[in-house]
Amino acid sequence: MKAVRPAPGHQDTNDDGSPPRMVAVVADGRTLHAPEGTFLLEVLRKAGIVIPTLCHHPAVEPAGACRLCLVEILRNGTPGELVTACLFPITDGLQVRTRSERVQAMRRNLLDLLLARCPDTPLIQQLAREYGLDQTSYPRNTEATDCILCGLCTRVCDRVGLSAISLVSHGTERKVAPPLKQPPPDCVGCLACAAICPTGTIQAEESNGTRTIWGKTFTMLSCKTCGRALITTAQAEYWSGRSRLPIAYFETCDTCKRASTAATMAALGALGNGR
Amino acid sequence: MVPVAQCDPAAETSVRLRVSGRDIRICCGTGCRANGAMDVADAFARAYDDRSTLQIHTKRTGCHGFCERGPLVMIEPDGILYTRVKAADVPEICTRTLERGEVVERLVYHHPADHRPIPLAKEIPFYARQTRIALRNIGRIDPTDIADALAHGAYAGMRTALTELTPTEVIDIIEHAGLRGRGGAGFSTAGKWRACRRAPGERKFVICNGDEGDPGAFKDRSILEGDPHAVIEGMIIGAYAVGAHEGFLYVRDEYPLAVRHLEAALAAAREAGFLGHDILGTGFALDLAIARGGGAFICGESSALMRSLEGRVGEPRAKYVHATERGLFDLPTVLNNVETWAHVGAILAAGPDAFAALGTGRSKGTKAFSLVGKVQNTGLIELPMGTTLREIIFDIGGGMRGDRPFKAVQTGGPSGGCLPASLLDLPVDYEQLTAAGSMMGSGGMIVMDDRTCMVDVARYFLRYLSEESCGKCLPCREGLRQMVGLFDRLVTGAGQTGDLERIEALAQTMQAASLCELGKSAANPVLSTLRYFREEYTAHLEARACPAGSCRALTTYHIRAQDCNGCHTCFTACPLGAIAGVKHKAHRIDADRCIGCGACFEACPRHAVGFGPKMVCAGQEA
Amino acid sequence: MAPCFDPAPLAEILARYAPRETSLIPVLQDVQRAYAYLPCEGLAAVSKTLGVPLAKVFSVVTFYRAFALQPQGRTVIKVCTGTACHIRGADRLLDELERRLAIAPGQTTPDFGFTLKTVNCVGACALAPVMILGERYVAQAKTNRLPALLDEGGHA
């Protein structure tokens, strides 16, 4: 399905290939310039303005789930609604305040709720302290967890092209889970989900040449040169299939490949004096 | 048996029964069906299949609206309404009314005050006060027969629009009529259409939102069941106006009859050349398809509904970019509610002035409501905007059920609020309801009496939403979780000092920070009950008592021996056998076995069952 | 006992729809209708045929209330928990059903006779409290009518 205009946030070119219009945004009194339609968060962060986020990562589509990036729109100088910067496409003349009392209070309230869900999670405790909260003013959730349901793991898995895990159920029952709560058939054990998880909820175990994640155990592929096991066989097969590179390419680890390239270059004298 | 003329106290409206050539319109809406309407219809069909000389025609129609009195049978053109008709009554109606021209008095509506019989539907207060536009043909046509719909004016507005007007002129007419969305926030319909028309792109969509999810609302179901052609006609006109050639009707899967009638209507419209290529020879093309909802309340939210049509989970999107620009499949889309679409054809056919002449300042035309709860005449009604709550509940609704006092009316579903008796003279329109802390929503009106606890009602909606929220954004999901926890404390007498302030602060966070309207408005039932019934909250919190005697953990029941005649009704009603007593002697409730369900209270014909507060120590019942 | 999985109806359903994501929900609705639940064995086939990852299928299945992953009883009893039903005693009705059937909402009796469910407002508010016994709408469903209704339902 072809969109009629580039989606908000994608500001490289317009649909017809023309360069996007540059617009001016005023944030906390500073005038910033960026292409029209760029997401506000990106504009603010580029300008060095600190905005807290928990569900944002440049590698994946924004979701607007954690709501911490709320900023206040000013209309003719008077405070208007709160918007999530991660999803808000900028227009010319937009005026925002990123740290007004209302914004800070709202972030604090959100962290208060999050702290009730994740009372023992260091990242949340630390962020809450930054907003003056030592502990939640609500009863702790009966099933305290480290998972903040930011959905970064499922979005990165989509991005990898596997969608092995997803957000399941709805309402207060919502969880991240593999299909049918069984070891996910589409998972290749790449650890992208564990790597992107901001709270370290997703953990993998490695021992004796195997890796276990989401209840599924993978055999590791040992580097032919150094013998270290860095990726799973399933991962190598998946990347090989997607990239059309021979499986042999993945049988040597990146470090050894680089070392071998360096050695070749040295042998050819291409590196001059070298080390 | 009385001759018809004598039934009618107003001589100038005396009924003249015709001898032949009558329509028998049997309401076969979901409500009447549940009460046996299909058996009644079958009995009429059997009675007249071989007596065609009488020219009597049985017709199975959609909802007549007066669901409380169903199954309903209307005899036209006389206009006689028979209520609570059983299949066994059919021979009598045939012989007496259809053949001899008499009225069967026991089956007509009797005025609740003076018990006089009112045989004519148009003189029954429930019908007399209504103005039907969206519901114009419901109960009059056989929804599965397009010829019948055409004979009642269906598709005339479409003809005008497609053959005489440009798309922009159509939008101008809708704007002039002042039509606003009938499903929620009340956006200008013409505004949406114009934005979509202007949005660049060849491929656009029209969508009918039939995912009527507000508990207590069933107007969309009744329209889809009783007059699917009105909706289809509206969508054809809308598609023509915005330049869309594809459309979807998203209907709740819990509405099987609506889906069936809509399927039949779409097939008939295609057959008649109202859908497909080159509609009415104008070159305009459109096709419509039905999508059945998956049973998620959140899919009534437009962006979630579109995700559902795409085959995904119904998670709403931020609306910083409107659906008229990026909707279904990221293409320009107009989404309107069932009732909104049903108005369109009528506006085009009658002209915008007639519509704009009804209603108040910025709320024009009529609005359909489902009137339910502790009111006498439950059912489906349509009224000019600006009708007061009092007129709706006491004139049309016939007042309170069981003579209990009015306490509140809940409008707008889980996004709405509870309005107290002091607001009964509020004219019902978008602005007034919003200012009072409620909402128009999809037109559910749930009337509550003094036995309804406002804290419990707020808790009911919170629990509902905590299950129905998509769970994506933090303030809605975790906010609802905490709200439910706080309310669970209140209704069990375990509330803590500061809980009301906690509830208010949480409500503000949810309002300001949630991603979609569900989360933003989730606290409305809480805020409106706190605003109008704060003392009831205080009673739960401080006295640990439920003044309405509704919260089980805070209520005990007893039988006043002096009022009890030992009729044994409560004994039968009690699900736990907690009532002891022999017939004709005063009964007694065993407090240890009583779970406080109140079944005996409801059942007692002599009002001998009383209730009182139960002593609860803080924390004991948590 | 839970019924065995017969793949034929599923194959027939899948053949009727275009193999794309937009077909997912209608396919699952038809499968649910044909089997009275969504057999796990079938979900993999749905995922493969429509080209939708299994995790996405699972997401959809658990998001929408219309879908059940467990086999359902011969008669499904749905108690409407809409507002009108709530204030006219739906919770009392539900309590009594739970007691009589000895199951909680969402559960099925061990003999697969009944499944008890709560449903959002079915739009029959004028008849509150409403329960749906199989396909039949029961108006003003009072607890004292339950023995007779369950008896009829059990033979449905």
Amino acid, single-letter form, for residue A57? H
Report ipTM for this prediction. Answer: 0.91
pLDDT of residue A193 exceeding 70: yes
- Least confident range from A252-266, B19-33, C28-42, C88-102: namely B19-33
A135 touching chain B per CB within 8 A: no
pLDDT digits (tens, 9 = 90+) for B185-240: 789 999 999 999 999 999 999 999 999 888 888 899 999 999 999 999 999 999 99
pLDDT of residue B3 exceeding 70: no
B572 touching chain C per CB within 8 A: yes
Q: What is the pLDDT of residue B402?
A: 84
Q: Average pLDDT, whole number, for chain B?
A: 91
CA atoms within 13 A on the CB side of B536: 27
A184 with C62: Cβ contact below 8 A: no
The helix (run of H) or strand (run of E) holding residue A80 is strand A78-84
Of B297, B313, B372, the CB nearest to C125: B372
Binning chain A into helix, strand and coil, the percentages to the nearest 5 are: 30, 20, 50
Q: What is the pLDDT of residue A20?
A: 81
Q: What is the mean pLDDT of residues B575-599?
A: 87
pLDDT digits (tens, 9 = 90+) for B418-447: 999 999 999 999 999 999 999 998 889 999
Residues linked to residue B363 through DSSP beta bridges, in sequence order: none
Q: What is the pLDDT of residue B336?
A: 97
Write out the residues of chain C at the interface with chain A, using a CB-CB cutoff of 8 A: 40, 43-44, 53-59, 62-63, 69
Of B221, B468, B597, the CB nearest to C95: B597
pLDDT digits (tens, 9 = 90+) for A142-181: 888 999 999 999 999 999 999 999 999 999 999 999 999 8
Q: What is the pLDDT of residue B574?
A: 85
pLDDT of residue B334 exceeding 70: yes
Q: Which residues of C touch A170 (CB under 8 A)?
A: 62-63
Q: Considering only CA atoms, which of B249, B159, B245 is closest in space to residue B207?
A: B249
- The nearest CA of chain B is from the CA of C111 a distance in Å of 24
Higher pLDDT, A105 or B20: A105
B225 neighbors B29 (Cβ within 8 angstroms): yes
Q: Which residues of B touch C81 (CB under 8 A)?
A: 215, 464
pLDDT of residue A3 exceeding 70: no
Sheet bearing B287-292, strands edge to edge: B287-292, B246-251, B205-210, B333-337
Which residue bears the tokens 């004219």?
Answer: B427
Q: What is the pLDDT of residue B617?
A: 53
3-class DSSP state for residue B289?
Answer: strand
Band the pLDDT of B618: cuts 50, 70, 90.
Answer: very low
Q: What is the DSSP string of B103-121?
A: B-GGGSEE-TTT--EE-BG
- The nearest CA of chain B is from the CA of C106 a distance in Å of 14
Q: Which residues of B514-533 are buried (b: 16+ CB within 10 A; e: fewer)?
A: bbbbbbbbbbbbbbbbbebb
B30 neighbors B261 (Cβ within 8 angstroms): no
User: What does the DSSP 8-state code read for residue B10?
Assistant: -
3-class DSSP state for residue B579?
Answer: strand
Q: What is the pLDDT of residue C123?
A: 77
B330 touching chain A per CB within 8 A: yes
pLDDT of residue B10 exceeding 60: no
B34 with C138: Cβ contact below 8 A: yes
- Least confident range from B114-123, B329-338, B538-547, C113-122: namely C113-122
Q: Considering only CA atoms, which of C52, B127, B297 is closest in space to residue A171?
A: B297
The number of angstroms, rounded, from the C-alpha of A152 to the middle of its chain's C-alpha atoms is 5
The phi-psi region of residue B329 (left if phi > 0; otherwise alpha if psi is between -120 and 50; otherwise beta) is left
Q: Average pLDDT, whole number, for chain A?
A: 91
Smallest CA–CA distance from C60 into chain B, residue: B313
Could you give the residue ranges of the DSSP H alpha helices within chain A?
A: 40-46, 101-117, 122-130, 152-160, 192-196, 233-243, 254-268
- Least confident range from A261-265, B120-124, B522-526: namely A261-265
Smallest CA–CA distance from C78 into chain B, residue: B254
The number of angstroms, rounded, from the C-alpha of B268 to the middle of its chain's C-alpha atoms is 27
User: What does the DSSP 8-state code read for residue A21?
Assistant: P
Structure tokens at B148: 């019948």
Interface probe for C, chosen from B223, B254, B461 (most Cβ of C below 10 Å), is B254
pLDDT digits (tens, 9 = 90+) for A102-117: 999 999 999 999 999 9
Q: What is the pLDDT of residue B587?
A: 94
pLDDT of residue C156 exceeding 60: no
Of A89, A110, A141, the CB nearest to B321: A89
Q: What is the mean pLDDT of residues C34-41?
A: 91
pLDDT of residue B2 exceeding 80: no
The number of angstroms, rounded, from the C-alpha of C68 to the middle of its chain's C-alpha atoms is 6
Q: Considering only CA atoms, which of B430, B388, B347, B413 is closest in space to residue B134?
A: B347
Of C65, C88, C127, the CB nearest to B295: C65
pLDDT digits (tens, 9 = 90+) for C90-99: 888 999 899 9
A163 with C43: Cβ contact below 8 A: no
- Give the integer Cα–Cα distance in Å for C80 and C136: 13
Band the pLDDT of B343: cuts 50, 70, 90.
Answer: very high
Structure tokens at B517: 């309207």
B310 neighbors B250 (Cβ within 8 angstroms): no
Band the pLDDT of B20: cuts 50, 70, 90.
Answer: low
Band the pLDDT of A4: cuts 50, 70, 90.
Answer: very low
pLDDT of residue B381 exceeding 70: yes
Q: Which residues of C touch B470 (CB under 8 A)?
A: 63
Q: Which residues of C touch B314 (CB under 8 A)?
A: 63-64
pLDDT of residue A272 exceeding 60: no
Band the pLDDT of A11: cuts 50, 70, 90.
Answer: low
- The nearest CA of chain C is from the CA of B99 a distance in Å of 33
Higher pLDDT, A270 or B450: B450
Q: Considering only CA atoms, which of B14, B55, B57, B58 is closest in space to residue B39?
A: B58
Domains, in order of start, for chain C: 7-63 (no CATH), 75-152 (3.40.30.10)
At a CB cut-off of 8 Å and minimum separation 6, what does A172 contact? B466, B467, B469, B471, B477, B480, B481, B484
Q: What is the mean pLDDT of residues B359-369?
A: 94
B374 neighbors B404 (Cβ within 8 angstroms): yes
Backbone phi, psi, residue B174, to 5°: -65, -40
Q: Quick one: what percent of chain A has pLDDT higher than 90?
A: 80
As to burial, measured by CB atoms within 10 angstroms (0-12 exposed, 13-18 middle, 19+ buried), residue A31 is exposed
3-class DSSP state for residue A217?
Answer: strand
Q: How many residues does chain B have?
A: 622
pLDDT of residue B255 exceeding 60: yes
Q: What is the mean pLDDT of residues B246-264?
A: 94
pLDDT digits (tens, 9 = 90+) for A48-106: 999 999 999 999 999 999 999 999 999 988 999 999 999 999 999 999 999 999 999 99
Q: Considering only CA atoms, which of A171, A219, A163 is closest in space to residue A193?
A: A163
Band the pLDDT of A13: cuts 50, 70, 90.
Answer: low
pLDDT of residue A10 exceeding 70: no
Q: What is the mean pLDDT of residues B43-67?
A: 82
